[in-house]
Structure 1
Amino acid sequence: MSWTKGKRRPLAALAVCVLLPLGAVACTGSEAHGGAVSSSPVGKVLDETDTTGRNLREVPRKNAPEVAVEVTEDPAGGWDVRLAFRHFGISEPGARPVAVTGRGFVRLFVDGRRVARLHGPTHHLGAGAVPHGTHQITARLYADDGTVWAVRGKPVESSADITVSDAETDTAGTGTAADPDTAGTGTAADPDPTGTGTAEAPGGTASPAGGA
Protein backbone atom coordinates (compact mmCIF):
# COMPACT_ATOMS: atom_id res chain seq x y z
CA MET A 1 0.00 0.00 0.00
CA SER A 2 1.47 3.39 -1.00
CA TRP A 3 0.74 6.72 0.61
CA THR A 4 1.55 10.28 -0.49
CA LYS A 5 1.10 13.32 1.72
CA GLY A 6 -1.20 11.39 4.02
CA LYS A 7 -3.60 10.46 1.23
CA ARG A 8 -4.22 6.97 -0.07
CA ARG A 9 -3.52 6.39 -3.73
CA PRO A 10 -6.42 5.23 -5.93
CA LEU A 11 -7.14 1.49 -5.88
CA ALA A 12 -7.03 1.36 -9.66
CA ALA A 13 -3.79 1.09 -11.65
CA LEU A 14 -0.90 3.03 -10.13
CA ALA A 15 1.35 4.85 -12.57
CA VAL A 16 5.01 5.80 -12.26
CA CYS A 17 6.33 8.34 -14.77
CA VAL A 18 9.96 9.17 -15.49
CA LEU A 19 11.15 12.26 -17.36
CA LEU A 20 13.45 11.17 -20.18
CA PRO A 21 15.84 13.23 -22.29
CA LEU A 22 14.27 15.55 -24.87
CA GLY A 23 11.21 15.96 -22.71
CA ALA A 24 9.77 12.47 -23.31
CA VAL A 25 7.83 10.84 -20.51
CA ALA A 26 7.72 7.08 -19.87
CA CYS A 27 5.05 5.61 -17.59
CA THR A 28 4.52 2.14 -16.18
CA GLY A 29 1.49 0.90 -14.32
CA SER A 30 0.50 -1.90 -11.98
CA GLU A 31 -2.94 -2.95 -10.79
CA ALA A 32 -3.84 -2.94 -7.13
CA HIS A 33 -4.62 -6.16 -5.25
CA GLY A 34 -2.25 -8.23 -7.37
CA GLY A 35 -4.28 -7.67 -10.52
CA ALA A 36 -7.29 -9.54 -9.12
CA VAL A 37 -9.64 -6.71 -10.03
CA SER A 38 -9.49 -5.51 -13.60
CA SER A 39 -9.78 -1.82 -14.41
CA SER A 40 -12.09 -2.75 -17.29
CA PRO A 41 -15.72 -3.82 -16.73
CA VAL A 42 -16.48 -7.52 -16.26
CA GLY A 43 -19.15 -8.57 -18.73
CA LYS A 44 -22.11 -6.31 -19.38
CA VAL A 45 -24.78 -5.39 -16.86
CA LEU A 46 -28.15 -5.79 -18.56
CA ASP A 47 -31.36 -3.90 -17.95
CA GLU A 48 -33.07 -7.27 -17.43
CA THR A 49 -33.49 -8.33 -13.81
CA ASP A 50 -34.77 -11.32 -11.93
CA THR A 51 -38.02 -11.29 -9.97
CA THR A 52 -36.44 -9.50 -7.01
CA GLY A 53 -34.80 -6.81 -9.11
CA ARG A 54 -31.17 -7.91 -9.35
CA ASN A 55 -29.54 -7.07 -12.68
CA LEU A 56 -28.09 -9.78 -14.89
CA ARG A 57 -24.36 -9.57 -15.71
CA GLU A 58 -23.89 -11.00 -19.21
CA VAL A 59 -20.66 -12.86 -20.03
CA PRO A 60 -19.64 -14.88 -23.11
CA ARG A 61 -20.64 -18.53 -23.11
CA LYS A 62 -17.05 -19.70 -23.50
CA ASN A 63 -15.55 -20.25 -20.03
CA ALA A 64 -18.70 -18.88 -18.39
CA PRO A 65 -19.38 -20.02 -14.80
CA GLU A 66 -21.37 -23.23 -14.39
CA VAL A 67 -22.95 -24.98 -11.42
CA ALA A 68 -24.43 -28.44 -10.81
CA VAL A 69 -26.62 -29.28 -7.81
CA GLU A 70 -27.30 -32.62 -6.15
CA VAL A 71 -29.86 -33.07 -3.37
CA THR A 72 -29.99 -36.25 -1.27
CA GLU A 73 -31.98 -37.33 1.76
CA ASP A 74 -30.20 -37.06 5.09
CA PRO A 75 -30.95 -40.18 7.20
CA ALA A 76 -30.98 -37.95 10.27
CA GLY A 77 -33.65 -35.73 8.71
CA GLY A 78 -33.83 -33.07 6.05
CA TRP A 79 -31.84 -32.84 2.83
CA ASP A 80 -28.17 -32.43 1.94
CA VAL A 81 -27.33 -30.11 -0.95
CA ARG A 82 -23.99 -30.49 -2.76
CA LEU A 83 -22.72 -28.16 -5.46
CA ALA A 84 -20.06 -28.57 -8.13
CA PHE A 85 -18.60 -25.73 -10.19
CA ARG A 86 -16.78 -25.07 -13.44
CA HIS A 87 -15.03 -21.78 -14.16
CA PHE A 88 -16.28 -20.47 -10.82
CA GLY A 89 -14.67 -19.89 -7.44
CA ILE A 90 -16.43 -19.13 -4.17
CA SER A 91 -15.42 -15.82 -2.62
CA GLU A 92 -14.65 -15.52 1.06
CA PRO A 93 -17.33 -13.92 3.25
CA GLY A 94 -16.88 -10.17 3.35
CA ALA A 95 -15.30 -9.97 -0.09
CA ARG A 96 -15.32 -6.53 -1.71
CA PRO A 97 -18.62 -5.90 -3.53
CA VAL A 98 -16.90 -5.82 -6.92
CA ALA A 99 -17.57 -8.16 -9.85
CA VAL A 100 -14.51 -10.31 -10.57
CA THR A 101 -14.49 -12.77 -13.46
CA GLY A 102 -15.52 -16.26 -12.36
CA ARG A 103 -16.00 -15.47 -8.69
CA GLY A 104 -18.86 -14.80 -6.30
CA PHE A 105 -21.36 -16.61 -4.11
CA VAL A 106 -24.42 -18.84 -4.46
CA ARG A 107 -28.05 -18.28 -3.63
CA LEU A 108 -30.16 -21.33 -2.83
CA PHE A 109 -33.89 -21.36 -3.57
CA VAL A 110 -36.77 -23.71 -2.82
CA ASP A 111 -39.56 -23.25 -5.38
CA GLY A 112 -38.23 -19.76 -6.12
CA ARG A 113 -38.09 -18.82 -2.44
CA ARG A 114 -34.66 -17.73 -1.26
CA VAL A 115 -33.45 -19.83 1.67
CA ALA A 116 -29.69 -19.29 1.94
CA ARG A 117 -26.60 -17.50 0.72
CA LEU A 118 -23.69 -19.92 0.40
CA HIS A 119 -19.92 -19.45 0.50
CA GLY A 120 -19.26 -23.18 0.31
CA PRO A 121 -20.26 -26.22 -1.76
CA THR A 122 -22.58 -27.84 0.78
CA HIS A 123 -25.71 -26.94 2.70
CA HIS A 124 -28.26 -28.75 4.86
CA LEU A 125 -31.98 -28.10 4.43
CA GLY A 126 -33.96 -28.98 7.51
CA ALA A 127 -37.11 -31.04 7.07
CA GLY A 128 -39.23 -28.02 7.87
CA ALA A 129 -37.80 -26.09 4.92
CA VAL A 130 -39.32 -28.51 2.41
CA PRO A 131 -42.97 -29.40 3.05
CA HIS A 132 -44.93 -32.37 1.69
CA GLY A 133 -45.01 -32.65 -2.11
CA THR A 134 -42.63 -32.15 -5.02
CA HIS A 135 -40.27 -29.18 -4.93
CA GLN A 136 -37.52 -27.62 -7.01
CA ILE A 137 -34.17 -26.78 -5.41
CA THR A 138 -32.19 -24.20 -7.39
CA ALA A 139 -28.64 -22.92 -7.00
CA ARG A 140 -27.81 -19.66 -8.80
CA LEU A 141 -24.44 -17.93 -9.20
CA TYR A 142 -23.83 -14.28 -8.31
CA ALA A 143 -20.96 -11.85 -8.60
CA ASP A 144 -19.79 -10.27 -5.36
CA ASP A 145 -21.59 -7.03 -6.22
CA GLY A 146 -24.91 -8.91 -6.17
CA THR A 147 -25.46 -9.06 -9.93
CA VAL A 148 -26.46 -12.41 -11.42
CA TRP A 149 -24.00 -14.18 -13.72
CA ALA A 150 -25.81 -14.73 -16.99
CA VAL A 151 -25.27 -16.06 -20.51
CA ARG A 152 -27.48 -15.02 -23.40
CA GLY A 153 -29.83 -13.23 -21.09
CA LYS A 154 -30.43 -16.12 -18.67
CA PRO A 155 -29.05 -16.66 -15.16
CA VAL A 156 -26.41 -19.31 -14.62
CA GLU A 157 -28.10 -21.86 -12.38
CA SER A 158 -28.98 -25.51 -11.88
CA SER A 159 -32.02 -27.19 -10.33
CA ALA A 160 -32.98 -30.53 -8.83
CA ASP A 161 -36.45 -31.85 -7.99
CA ILE A 162 -37.25 -33.68 -4.76
CA THR A 163 -40.45 -35.28 -3.50
CA VAL A 164 -41.33 -35.25 0.18
CA SER A 165 -43.76 -37.99 1.22
CA ASP A 166 -45.82 -38.36 4.38
CA ALA A 167 -42.86 -40.24 5.83
CA GLU A 168 -40.85 -37.02 5.29
CA THR A 169 -38.96 -38.12 2.16
CA ASP A 170 -39.61 -40.27 -0.84
CA THR A 171 -37.07 -39.69 -3.58
CA ALA A 172 -34.00 -37.53 -4.03
CA GLY A 173 -33.26 -35.40 -7.04
CA THR A 174 -30.04 -34.72 -8.87
CA GLY A 175 -29.41 -31.69 -11.07
CA THR A 176 -26.81 -31.37 -13.78
CA ALA A 177 -24.65 -28.42 -14.73
CA ALA A 178 -26.87 -25.71 -16.10
CA ASP A 179 -26.47 -24.90 -19.76
CA PRO A 180 -26.61 -21.11 -19.71
CA ASP A 181 -28.66 -21.25 -22.92
CA THR A 182 -31.43 -23.18 -21.19
CA ALA A 183 -31.10 -22.02 -17.58
CA GLY A 184 -34.35 -20.47 -16.46
CA THR A 185 -34.86 -17.17 -14.78
CA GLY A 186 -35.47 -17.12 -11.06
CA THR A 187 -35.15 -14.91 -8.06
CA ALA A 188 -32.24 -13.21 -6.39
CA ALA A 189 -31.59 -10.74 -3.64
CA ASP A 190 -29.20 -8.24 -2.20
CA PRO A 191 -25.93 -9.75 -0.94
CA ASP A 192 -26.20 -10.96 2.64
CA PRO A 193 -23.70 -9.00 4.75
CA THR A 194 -23.96 -11.32 7.72
CA GLY A 195 -21.42 -13.92 6.63
CA THR A 196 -21.10 -17.34 5.17
CA GLY A 197 -23.92 -19.72 4.44
CA THR A 198 -26.50 -17.97 6.59
CA ALA A 199 -29.94 -19.48 6.25
CA GLU A 200 -32.38 -16.84 5.03
CA ALA A 201 -35.58 -18.66 5.84
CA PRO A 202 -36.56 -21.01 8.67
CA GLY A 203 -35.67 -24.64 8.36
CA GLY A 204 -32.14 -24.72 6.95
CA THR A 205 -28.71 -24.46 8.45
CA ALA A 206 -25.67 -23.49 6.50
CA SER A 207 -22.44 -25.33 6.04
CA PRO A 208 -19.00 -23.89 6.76
CA ALA A 209 -17.36 -21.88 4.03
CA GLY A 210 -15.44 -23.84 1.47
CA GLY A 211 -14.81 -24.35 -2.20
CA ALA A 212 -12.60 -22.41 -4.55
Structure 2
Amino acid sequence: MAWTGRLITALAVCGVLLAGSAGCGSRAAQEQEQERGAGAPSPVGKLLEERDDGGRPYREVDEEGAPEVGVEVTPDADGGWDVRLRVRNFRFSPEGTDNRAVPGRGLAHLYVNDRLVALLRAPGHHLSPHTVRRGTHQVTVRLYADDDSVWAVGGKPVESTADITVSEPSPGTAPTAAERGTAGPDLAAGGRGSPDRDRRAG
Protein backbone atom coordinates (compact mmCIF):
# COMPACT_ATOMS: atom_id res chain seq x y z
CA MET A 1 0.00 0.00 0.00
CA ALA A 2 2.74 2.45 -0.97
CA TRP A 3 0.16 4.72 -2.61
CA THR A 4 -1.37 5.48 0.82
CA GLY A 5 1.76 7.18 2.02
CA ARG A 6 1.96 9.29 -1.13
CA LEU A 7 -1.71 10.30 -0.81
CA ILE A 8 -1.28 11.37 2.81
CA THR A 9 1.79 13.39 1.83
CA ALA A 10 -0.16 15.07 -0.97
CA LEU A 11 -3.04 15.93 1.38
CA ALA A 12 -0.62 17.32 3.93
CA VAL A 13 0.95 19.57 1.29
CA CYS A 14 -2.54 20.72 0.27
CA GLY A 15 -3.37 21.52 3.90
CA VAL A 16 -0.22 23.64 4.21
CA LEU A 17 -1.08 25.50 1.03
CA LEU A 18 -4.64 26.15 2.20
CA ALA A 19 -3.33 27.66 5.40
CA GLY A 20 -1.17 30.00 3.34
CA SER A 21 -2.06 32.36 0.53
CA ALA A 22 -2.79 29.68 -2.08
CA GLY A 23 -5.01 26.59 -2.10
CA CYS A 24 -5.36 23.24 -3.87
CA GLY A 25 -8.53 24.39 -5.66
CA SER A 26 -8.77 25.57 -9.23
CA ARG A 27 -7.33 28.89 -10.36
CA ALA A 28 -10.87 30.13 -11.13
CA ALA A 29 -12.00 29.42 -7.55
CA GLN A 30 -8.99 31.32 -6.20
CA GLU A 31 -9.75 34.31 -8.46
CA GLN A 32 -13.40 34.36 -7.29
CA GLU A 33 -12.24 34.39 -3.68
CA GLN A 34 -9.91 37.30 -4.40
CA GLU A 35 -12.72 39.21 -6.14
CA ARG A 36 -14.91 38.86 -3.06
CA GLY A 37 -12.05 40.13 -0.92
CA ALA A 38 -11.50 39.68 2.78
CA GLY A 39 -12.80 43.19 3.50
CA ALA A 40 -16.06 42.82 1.59
CA PRO A 41 -19.19 43.82 3.58
CA SER A 42 -20.95 40.93 5.27
CA PRO A 43 -24.60 40.33 4.33
CA VAL A 44 -25.35 40.25 8.06
CA GLY A 45 -23.71 43.58 8.83
CA LYS A 46 -20.86 44.62 11.08
CA LEU A 47 -20.64 44.24 14.85
CA LEU A 48 -20.09 47.59 16.59
CA GLU A 49 -18.55 48.52 19.92
CA GLU A 50 -21.92 49.82 21.17
CA ARG A 51 -23.96 47.45 23.32
CA ASP A 52 -27.40 47.40 24.89
CA ASP A 53 -27.99 47.37 28.65
CA GLY A 54 -27.61 43.58 28.65
CA GLY A 55 -24.18 43.73 26.97
CA ARG A 56 -25.42 42.57 23.55
CA PRO A 57 -23.49 44.12 20.63
CA TYR A 58 -25.11 46.22 17.91
CA ARG A 59 -25.09 44.73 14.40
CA GLU A 60 -24.91 47.58 11.88
CA VAL A 61 -26.64 47.11 8.50
CA ASP A 62 -27.27 49.47 5.59
CA GLU A 63 -30.44 51.55 5.84
CA GLU A 64 -31.68 50.28 2.49
CA GLY A 65 -33.51 47.04 3.17
CA ALA A 66 -32.86 47.23 6.92
CA PRO A 67 -35.41 45.80 9.39
CA GLU A 68 -38.06 48.24 10.63
CA VAL A 69 -40.55 47.98 13.46
CA GLY A 70 -43.57 49.90 14.68
CA VAL A 71 -45.54 49.21 17.86
CA GLU A 72 -49.15 49.83 18.78
CA VAL A 73 -50.47 49.37 22.32
CA THR A 74 -54.21 49.37 23.01
CA PRO A 75 -56.19 48.68 26.20
CA ASP A 76 -58.36 45.60 26.46
CA ALA A 77 -61.63 45.06 28.33
CA ASP A 78 -59.92 43.38 31.31
CA GLY A 79 -57.57 46.25 32.17
CA GLY A 80 -54.57 44.82 30.31
CA TRP A 81 -52.90 45.96 27.11
CA ASP A 82 -52.55 44.40 23.68
CA VAL A 83 -49.20 44.99 21.99
CA ARG A 84 -49.08 44.73 18.19
CA LEU A 85 -45.90 44.93 16.13
CA ARG A 86 -45.70 45.99 12.49
CA VAL A 87 -42.45 44.93 10.85
CA ARG A 88 -40.84 45.43 7.46
CA ASN A 89 -37.81 43.59 6.03
CA PHE A 90 -37.97 41.30 9.06
CA ARG A 91 -39.36 37.86 9.89
CA PHE A 92 -39.71 36.21 13.28
CA SER A 93 -37.63 33.09 13.94
CA PRO A 94 -39.35 30.09 15.54
CA GLU A 95 -38.16 28.57 18.81
CA GLY A 96 -35.07 26.41 18.31
CA THR A 97 -33.59 28.45 15.46
CA ASP A 98 -29.79 28.23 15.13
CA ASN A 99 -27.86 30.80 17.14
CA ARG A 100 -26.52 32.76 14.17
CA ALA A 101 -27.33 36.05 12.47
CA VAL A 102 -29.33 35.85 9.25
CA PRO A 103 -30.31 39.03 7.36
CA GLY A 104 -33.75 40.33 8.35
CA ARG A 105 -34.51 37.56 10.83
CA GLY A 106 -34.69 37.19 14.59
CA LEU A 107 -36.90 38.13 17.51
CA ALA A 108 -38.10 41.20 19.37
CA HIS A 109 -37.43 42.22 22.95
CA LEU A 110 -40.33 43.95 24.70
CA TYR A 111 -39.51 46.48 27.42
CA VAL A 112 -41.72 48.43 29.81
CA ASN A 113 -39.86 51.43 31.26
CA ASP A 114 -36.53 49.88 30.15
CA ARG A 115 -37.34 46.60 31.93
CA LEU A 116 -37.35 43.49 29.72
CA VAL A 117 -40.73 41.78 30.07
CA ALA A 118 -40.90 39.40 27.08
CA LEU A 119 -39.07 37.90 24.10
CA LEU A 120 -41.38 37.91 21.10
CA ARG A 121 -41.33 35.43 18.20
CA ALA A 122 -44.67 36.68 16.86
CA PRO A 123 -46.14 40.15 16.23
CA GLY A 124 -48.60 40.07 19.13
CA HIS A 125 -48.34 40.06 22.93
CA HIS A 126 -50.62 40.77 25.88
CA LEU A 127 -49.55 42.79 28.92
CA SER A 128 -51.50 41.96 32.07
CA PRO A 129 -52.87 44.76 34.28
CA HIS A 130 -50.19 43.86 36.85
CA THR A 131 -47.38 44.55 34.35
CA VAL A 132 -48.44 48.15 33.67
CA ARG A 133 -49.86 49.89 36.73
CA ARG A 134 -51.23 53.40 37.18
CA GLY A 135 -49.14 56.17 35.65
CA THR A 136 -47.36 56.91 32.36
CA HIS A 137 -45.12 54.23 30.91
CA GLN A 138 -42.91 53.64 27.88
CA VAL A 139 -43.39 50.39 25.96
CA THR A 140 -40.41 49.72 23.68
CA VAL A 141 -39.86 46.97 21.12
CA ARG A 142 -36.32 46.34 19.81
CA LEU A 143 -35.28 43.89 17.08
CA TYR A 144 -32.51 41.33 17.62
CA ALA A 145 -30.77 38.78 15.40
CA ASP A 146 -30.81 35.11 16.39
CA ASP A 147 -27.25 35.39 17.75
CA ASP A 148 -28.56 37.95 20.30
CA SER A 149 -27.01 40.96 18.56
CA VAL A 150 -29.10 44.13 18.15
CA TRP A 151 -30.09 45.12 14.62
CA ALA A 152 -28.85 48.68 14.14
CA VAL A 153 -28.82 51.41 11.48
CA GLY A 154 -26.56 54.45 11.72
CA GLY A 155 -25.27 53.21 15.06
CA LYS A 156 -28.78 53.23 16.56
CA PRO A 157 -30.87 50.17 17.51
CA VAL A 158 -33.90 49.32 15.38
CA GLU A 159 -36.72 49.93 17.84
CA SER A 160 -40.00 51.76 18.41
CA THR A 161 -41.61 53.16 21.57
CA ALA A 162 -45.19 53.89 22.60
CA ASP A 163 -46.14 56.02 25.59
CA ILE A 164 -49.20 54.85 27.49
CA THR A 165 -51.01 56.30 30.49
CA VAL A 166 -52.90 54.08 32.91
CA SER A 167 -55.54 55.78 35.04
CA GLU A 168 -58.20 54.52 37.39
CA PRO A 169 -61.35 54.40 35.23
CA SER A 170 -64.75 54.76 36.75
CA PRO A 171 -66.58 51.44 37.07
CA GLY A 172 -68.24 50.45 33.82
CA THR A 173 -66.55 53.09 31.66
CA ALA A 174 -64.45 52.44 28.58
CA PRO A 175 -60.78 53.53 28.46
CA THR A 176 -60.24 57.09 27.28
CA ALA A 177 -58.19 58.16 24.27
CA ALA A 178 -55.41 59.25 26.65
CA GLU A 179 -55.06 55.65 27.77
CA ARG A 180 -54.12 54.50 24.27
CA GLY A 181 -50.52 54.39 23.08
CA THR A 182 -49.19 53.98 19.54
CA ALA A 183 -45.83 54.48 17.91
CA GLY A 184 -43.77 53.50 14.96
CA PRO A 185 -43.89 54.06 11.21
CA ASP A 186 -47.06 53.53 9.27
CA LEU A 187 -45.52 50.52 7.57
CA ALA A 188 -48.55 49.79 5.45
CA ALA A 189 -48.30 53.25 3.92
CA GLY A 190 -44.52 53.21 3.76
CA GLY A 191 -44.17 56.09 6.20
CA ARG A 192 -41.52 56.69 8.83
CA GLY A 193 -43.81 57.89 11.64
CA SER A 194 -43.53 60.90 13.88
CA PRO A 195 -39.88 61.56 14.80
CA ASP A 196 -40.61 61.92 18.51
CA ARG A 197 -42.48 58.61 18.70
CA ASP A 198 -40.94 56.39 16.04
CA ARG A 199 -37.26 55.90 16.59
CA ARG A 200 -34.45 53.48 16.07
CA ALA A 201 -32.66 54.72 19.17
CA GLY A 202 -33.67 55.68 22.64
TM over 0.5: yes
Write the deviation string for residues 81-106 of structure 1: whole angstroms up to 9, x where unpaired: 00111000001111001000000000
Relative contact order (alpha carbons < 8 A, sep ≥ 6): 1 or 2 greater?
1
Q: Give the counterpart of 2:147 among 141, 145, 152.
A: 145
One of 178, 181, 186 as aligned partner of 1:173: 181
Q: Report the CA distance between 1:163 and its aligned residue.
A: 0.4
Matched residue type, 2:56: R
After the TM superposition, which residues 53-132 of structure 1 pair with which residues of structure 2 at under 5 Å, given as runs?
53-132=55-134
Please report how far the alpha carbon of residue 41 of structure 1 lies from its aligned counterpart in structure 2 after TM superposition: 5.7
Counterpart in the other structure of 1:157: 159
1:51 is matched with which residue?
53
TM-align CA RMSD: 2.4
Q: CA deviation at 1:176?
A: 1.6
Instruction: Tell me which structure has the larger Cα radius of gyration.
Output: 2
Q: Distance in 2 between matches of 1:133 and 1:149?
A: 30
CA distance in 2, matches of 1:77, 1:110: 16
More strand by share: 1
Are the counterparts in 1 of residues 158 and 199 from structure 2 also a CA contact under 8 Å? no
Gaps of 5+ in 1: 1-23, 29-39, 186-212
Provide the TM-score with structure 1 as the length reference: 0.66
Judging by fraction of residues, say which structure has more helix: 2
Unaligned runs of 5+ in 2: 1-24, 30-41, 186-191
Aligned structure 1 segments of 4 or more residues deviating by more than 3 angstroms: 24-28, 178-182
Distance 2:46 2:28 in 1: 30
- Normalised to the residue count of structure 2, the TM-score between the two structures is 0.69
